[in-house]
Amino acid sequence: MHETTQLLIEVGALLLVLSMLGRVAARFGFSAIPLYLLAGLAVGEGGLLPLQASEEFFEVGSQIGVILLLAMLGLEYSADELMSNLKTSRISGILDGVFNALPGALFAILLGWEPAAVVALAGVTWVSSSGVIAKVVRDLGRLGNRETPVILSILVMEDLAMAFYLPVLSALVIGAGLMQGAITVAIAVAVVVTILYIALRHGRVLSRLLPQKNAEALLLGVVGLTMLVAGLAEAVNVSAAVGAFLVGIAISGPVAHQSAQLITPLRDLFAAVFFVFFGISTSPADIIPVLLPAFALAVLTIGTKAFSGYMAAKRAGIAVPGRWRTGLALTPRGEFSIVIAGLAVGAGIEPLLAPLATAYVLMTIIAGPLLARVPDTAWFKAKVRKTASAPPTTPVATR
């Protein structure tokens, strides 16, 4: 069979399978990401049905997927939202980082991993999945809840932190000497600060350059600009993902709104390809030995995430039930953890990281949305009321 024919058949068949998996996930009300990862595992090296011709397609597609995923994330936030969040939720963001990055880092040190892998695993356990959590909050009808802004602002802080974390990680995984590594990190951070400054201050100029009226031209313009900046960012070791995120933030106003609508279907397609490719590049045989460590890590960091979320809600003056809703809603890890692991694995550090991250994300992303529902159950409410009535709780009114 001709190479291209084979490719079409493989890609087509796989996308159809993903479509069915997506329906199953929607039917039961959970994220499709774990199913995409499993599908990738099944068709990867050592899987049930290894792909023959389309692996390269999925590799390129997965890179586009990361770029679009991050660009969309940036598009969803306005510069004002970022700045006001930075003011009001700094402390909660820092607590969230300390309590969730450190367990990952310590875990990696225990496993005896090299420094770059330690930093990578810290990132994997730190960042919650914005996509999954936004969907869970929406599905559970909690958009009107008072704790929801707390949840969202933590997600914003994490995403903003990633703009600095990812370039540092990419500099580290290149594995230059200490001095050279420090210089690379410094350059990367300087570039991010500069782009962020331009994006926040002069985003309007950029938005004006894009043709708002013509949907086709706007789509091409936004995707083109995003890929170009992502590529240039990669060239100076800032990581393509961060470049794309910054472009998303820089585009503002009605252009951002329209671009988001145009890109969403494209993002859905390539993001699915990205998760599949991550599964493809991980060998299922490697997952079994890391299942236990992954489970331990998941239990530990679901606990720390619930705690840091609880504290953030407490700081915002939310009552006890709302604090639990905040903490438990934040537990799923997803797209960012996979992006981080993908970045580290792509550079060839710590072969165990990819299977560990896959198993870890699978566990938290399945357990998280279930845990998020727990505060709505009758027994949980009864329990909270019982403990709350014993010592009177005074909500702290800090904002």
Residue 153: CB minimum distance to other proteins, A: 7
Question: Of residues 34, 40, 61, 322, which one binds other proteins by CB under 8 A?
Answer: 322
Stretch that binds other proteins, among 48-56, 138-146, 188-196, 216-224 (CB under 8 A): 138-146
Residue 129: CB minimum distance to other proteins, A: 13
135 binds other proteins (CB under 8 A): no
92 binds other proteins (CB under 8 A): no
Residue 257: CB minimum distance to other proteins, A: 6
Helix axes 79-88, 178-209, angle to 10 degrees: 130
Q: Of 159, 193, 156, give the one whose Cα is nearest residue 80.
A: 156
Stretch that binds other proteins, among 16-24, 78-86, 289-297, 342-350 (CB under 8 A): 78-86
In the complex with other proteins, the residue whose CB is nearer, 54 or 145, is: 145
In the complex with other proteins, the residue whose CB is nearer, 18 or 313, is: 313
Residue 334: CB minimum distance to other proteins, A: 15
Interactions with other proteins, residue window 252-271 (CB under 8 A): 257, 260
In the complex with other proteins, the residue whose CB is nearer, 10 or 158, is: 158
Residue 133: CB minimum distance to other proteins, A: 10
In the chain, the amino acid numbered 362 is L
Stretch that binds other proteins, among 55-63, 143-151, 222-230, 277-285 (CB under 8 A): 143-151
The upper half-sphere exposure of residue 242, i.e. CA atoms within 13 Å in the direction of its Cβ, equals 32
Residue 92: CB minimum distance to other proteins, A: 14
Residue 282: CB minimum distance to other proteins, A: 29
Neighbours of 194 (CB within 10 A): 11
SS3 368: helix
Is residue 241 within 8 A of residue 339, CB to CB? The reply is yes
155 binds other proteins (CB under 8 A): yes
Separation CA 103–CA 113 (nearest Å): 14
- Angle at Cα 41 formed by Cα 38 and Cα 44, nearest 5°? 150
Is residue 282 within 8 A of residue 40, CB to CB? The reply is yes
117 binds other proteins (CB under 8 A): no
Annotate 50-85 with b (16+ C-beta within 10 A) or e (fewer). Answer: ebebbbebbeebbbbbbbbbbbbbbbbbbbeebeeb
Question: Of residues 22, 115, 149, 303, which one binds other proteins by CB under 8 A?
Answer: 149
In the complex with other proteins, the residue whose CB is nearer, 307 or 380, is: 380
314 binds other proteins (CB under 8 A): no
Is residue 129 within 8 A of residue 336, CB to CB? The reply is yes
Stretch that binds other proteins, among 77-85, 202-210, 296-304, 354-362 (CB under 8 A): 77-85
Stretch that binds other proteins, among 80-88, 163-171, 280-288, 363-371 (CB under 8 A): 80-88
SS3 399: coil
Q: Of 212, 202, 197, 206, give the one whose Cα is nearest residue 225.
A: 206
- Angle at Cα 160 formed by Cα 98 and Cα 324, nearest 5°? 50
10 binds other proteins (CB under 8 A): no
396 binds other proteins (CB under 8 A): no
Separation CA 380–CA 374 (nearest Å): 7
Rounded to the nearest 10 degrees, how much is the dihedral formed by the CA atoms of 154, 160, 163, 169?
-30
Scan for tokens 């994220």, then name that residue: 31
237 binds other proteins (CB under 8 A): no
Residue 228: CB minimum distance to other proteins, A: 25
Question: Of residues 262, 269, 319, 352, which one binds other proteins by CB under 8 A?
Answer: 319
146 binds other proteins (CB under 8 A): yes
Question: Of residues 30, 58, 77, 275, which one binds other proteins by CB under 8 A?
Answer: 77
Residue 98 has which token pair? 């300390």
Scan for tokens 């963001």, then name that residue: 93
Q: Of 251, 241, 228, 237, give the one whose Cα is nearest residue 175.
A: 237
The Cα diameter of the chain in Å comes to 74
* Chain residues in the site for other proteins (CB under 8 A): 76-77, 81, 84-85, 130, 134, 138, 141-149, 152-153, 155-156, 257, 260, 318-319, 321-322, 325, 381
